[in-house]
């Protein structure tokens, strides 16, 4: 299948821009840390966290591009991102978070981030094919 690899790389990079804002002190850093029982010092080694996160973002953007096909339509691709984010990723987090006894606050923050991530993937992949 013909996939625009540059669009995939840009989509993956967009998750860092969104994540940088989403998990910043401006938005959800403090409530997320509180919900997860963490402090800012617990957030891990940046090189490892960011390196692996980018690899995971590349894989997820590539697989989403495969699902959209070689000529995604912008008006549909962002909706597909919304459905994947809410229906697949968000609900999968919900199952795991319930068994891990994590609070709904964490689910809403993390699920919201990944829903936004896939909507942005859909916008980028739909606009640039």
pLDDT in tens, 19-75: 999 999 999 999 999 999 988 777 666 777 888 999 999 999 999 999 999 999 999
The whole-model pTM stands at: 0.93
Q: If you average pLDDT over residues 98-102, what whole number do you get?
A: 97
* The pLDDT value given to residue 31: 97
pLDDT score of 43? 67
Contacts 24+ apart (CB under 8 A), 101-107: 102/35, 102/36, 103/35, 105/31, 105/32, 105/34, 105/35, 106/32, 106/35, 106/36
Q: Is 52 helix (H, G, I), strand (E, B) or coil?
A: helix
Q: What is the pLDDT of residue 41?
A: 75
- Please, are residues 90 and 115 in contact by the beta-carbon 8 Å criterion? yes
Rounded Cα gap, residues 43 and 118, in angstroms: 24
């Amino acid at each position: 299948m013909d996939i625009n690899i540059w669009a995939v790389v840009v989509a993956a990079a967009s998750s860092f821009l969104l994540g940088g804002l989403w998990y910043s002190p401006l938005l959800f850093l403090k409530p997320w840390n509180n919900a997860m029982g963490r402090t800012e010092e617990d957030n891990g080694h940046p090189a490892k966290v960011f390196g692996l996160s980018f690899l995971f973002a590349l894989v997820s953007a590539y697989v989403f591009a495969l699902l959209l096909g070689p000529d995604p339509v912008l008006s549909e691709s962002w909706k597909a991102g919304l459905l994947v984010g809410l229906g697949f990723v968000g609900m999968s987090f919900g199952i795991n978070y319930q068994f891990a006894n994590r609070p709904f606050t964490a689910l809403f923050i993390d699920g919201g981030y990944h829903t936004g991530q896939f909507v942005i993937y859909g916008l980028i992949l739909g606009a640039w094919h």
